[in-house]
Copies of this chain bind each other. A is one copy, B any other.
Amino acid sequence: MRIDKQQCAERLLAHDEFTVLSHEHPDGDTLGCAFALCAALKMLGKKREFRCGDTVPHDFSFLTDGFRNDEVHHPYVVAVDVADPGLLGSLRAEYGDKVDLCIDHHPSNTLYAKETLLEERAAAAEILYELMPLLGVEPDRYIRECIYTGVSTDTGCFRYPNTTPASFRIVAELTEKGIDSRTINKLMFETRTKSFLALELLARKTLEYHCDGRCAIITVTNDMFRESGSDESECTPITALPRQIEGVRVGAVFKQKPDGTFNVSVRTDGDIDASAICKKLGGGGHRGAAGCSVDDYEDGKARLLTEIAAALNAQ
């Protein structure tokens, strides 16, 4: 069932122990939301633990340093920025059908939770920010930095078309009250590790064009991760690259997983629906950015290209 912000705040205020879940391959928005919520619950004198199916990348240590889970016995389970129980990853078996409340901004949310606060916003962190006054919480610097991390990362630092006046207004307030956006931006958007630069050079050699140059595909394999000393957590800028090339309307990146299968990220110019393309292959997401998984590279690429060509030709 869908609920509004006021009802959501009431649910949070009514419980005393919480498990807060982020999605697998955690990004700035799911982590910003989770740690902002944990901090707010703590300020309200409640107990909370954070759980995620994957290890939190080192880049986010400015959010996780000093964080300790409380011991919780009968938690109210809240998933943040998790559109589908499958995205809980290794926590799916434990929590997939036990999520009491989901706070999310993905239109593709399957409403799997008992109750869902769903608003189509640039970032789920914007919803979290607007929940704070309803919880009676005045965001401190840490919460502000959590929110900034969510909004800035999910908008590509305010560059993606999902950015709204509300995103800018929220960030104006956050920066006015004081955050270290310089350090956060440096970590999230600027710093390129030597291993990333090596990976990017290898990946760019795989660049191939399809559909008369309207589609570009890059492939990242486990061999490349090994050779560069990089890993999946550094792939985000590569994911964005194919669609950024002039004339390309649909970009896709195949990223090999340790088990040899592939995660596929699809980015479009927004006129083409990436989410619809990925749904055909069992995935989902947003209009401009979506994803799916395929077991076999050649077969998966052929199926994806069929869907992309159909979407391009329907224009």
Contacts and interface: CB of A to CB of B under 8 A. Distances in A.
Interface of A: 157-161, 163-166, 168-169, 171-173, 175-176, 181-182, 185-186, 189-194, 197, 201, 204, 241, 244-246, 269-270
Given A190-B159, A191-B246, A175 B164 contact: yes
Contact of A161 (B160, B182, B204): B182
Nearest to A166: B172
Contact of A197 (B161, B186, B192, B245): B245
A214 to B, nearest CB: 14
Given A168-B175, A172-B165, A246 B182 contact: no
Contact of A157 (B158, B165, B176): B158
Q: Is the interface of A mostly helix, strand, loop or mixed?
A: helix
Nearest to A196: B246
A292 to B, nearest CB: 23
A182 to B, nearest CB: 4
Task: Give 8 nearest A-B pairs by CB, closest first.
Answer: A168-B172, A165-B176, A161-B182, A158-B158, A169-B172, A157-B159, A165-B172, A165-B175
Given A168-B168, A193-B246, A270 B182 contact: yes
Please state the number of chain copies in the assembly: 2
A270 B173 CA distance: 23
A163 B181 contact: yes
A190 B244 contact: yes
B190 A197 contact: no
B159 A194 contact: no
Contacts of A159: 157, 185, 189-190
26 contacts: A157-B157, A157-B159, A158-B171, A159-B185, A159-B189, A159-B190, A161-B181, A161-B182, A163-B175, A164-B175, A165-B172, A165-B173, A165-B175, A168-B168, A168-B169, A168-B171, A168-B172, A168-B175, A169-B169, A172-B172, A190-B244, A191-B246, A192-B245, A192-B246, A193-B246, A201-B201
Nearest to A186: B269
A161 B157 CA distance: 12
Contacts of A171: 158, 168
A249 to B, nearest CB: 11
Nearest to A185: B159
Nearest to A205: B201
B193 A197 contact: no
A197 B204 contact: yes
Residue of A159, A192, A194 with highest tally of chain B CB at under 10 A: A159
A300 to B, nearest CB: 25
Contacts of A246: 191-194
